[in-house]
Amino acid sequence: MKTVIAVLLVIAGVIGGLYVGGWLMFIQSIIGVCNAFDAHTLTGTLIGWAVIKCLFASFVGGVIIGVSLLLGKVVID
């Protein structure tokens, strides 16, 4: 039973890390900049925040995945 819970934790962590890091922080920020460009409301601040989000997206996703792997290991032990 512990193994099943640990595997589910790891799977949820990987999906959550990919969602937060990949979709919310990386792709959504690029889409937001593109939408602002189309609406003629693009500013330097918007571009700056999008660049910061893109730079930290892999770090945040990796931390979420790493924490889920750690939790899975703790549950198994």
pLDDT of residue 77: 84
- The C-alpha atoms of residue 58 and residue 20 are separated, in whole angstroms, by 9
pTM score of the predicted model:
0.86
Q: SS3 for 41?
A: coil
Q: Is the separation of the CB atoms in 7 and 65 below 8 Å?
A: no
pLDDT of residue 13: 96
Tokens 């549950």 locate to 75
* Tens digit of each residue's pLDDT (9 = 90 or more) over 13-72: 999 999 999 999 999 999 999 999 999 999 999 999 999 999 999 999 999 999 999 999
